[in-house]
Amino acid sequence: MFGIVRALVNIVIAIIDFFLLLRFIFKFFVVNAASPFVAWIYRTSAPLASPFAKIVPDLKFGSFVVDFTTLIALIVYVLAGYLILQIFSYASPRYHRDNGDYRG
């Protein structure tokens, strides 16, 4: 049971991180937001990044932009996923590998 939940948490966090990473890369290289795919990525990832908006201002290096909102969101979601997985690892029963005896 806990294995399925762990796999589901991993998949959800991976999808969230994928969208946020694409958002970060597109913002960094100042990709054309009018492009349908880029606009879709921005719309999809906006609710994920919006809780962290305006914590730290964006940093501009010439034509590049470091979007700290998305970077903070990436870090927070990875840490949240890690903590959820740790909670499930403590809650799941432990078995001894040699003979399958319960060692809870």
Residue-wise pLDDT for 52-91, tens only, equals 998 888 889 888 999 999 999 999 999 999 999 898 888 7
- DSSP secondary structure letters along 35-46: SHHHHHHHHHHH
- The answer to whether residue 35 sits within a structural domain is yes
- The answer to whether residue 73 sits within a structural domain is yes
Domain of 46 in residue numbering reads as 2-91
Q: Taking residues 9-34, report their average pLDDT.
A: 95
Query: Model pTM?
Result: 0.81
- The answer to whether residue 99 sits within a structural domain is no
The 10 Å CB-count burial string (b at 16+, else e) for 73-96 is: bbeebeeebeebbeeeeeeeeeee
- The answer to whether residue 40 sits within a structural domain is yes
As for how many domains the chain has, the answer is 1
- Give dist(CA 55, CA 73) in Å, integer: 11
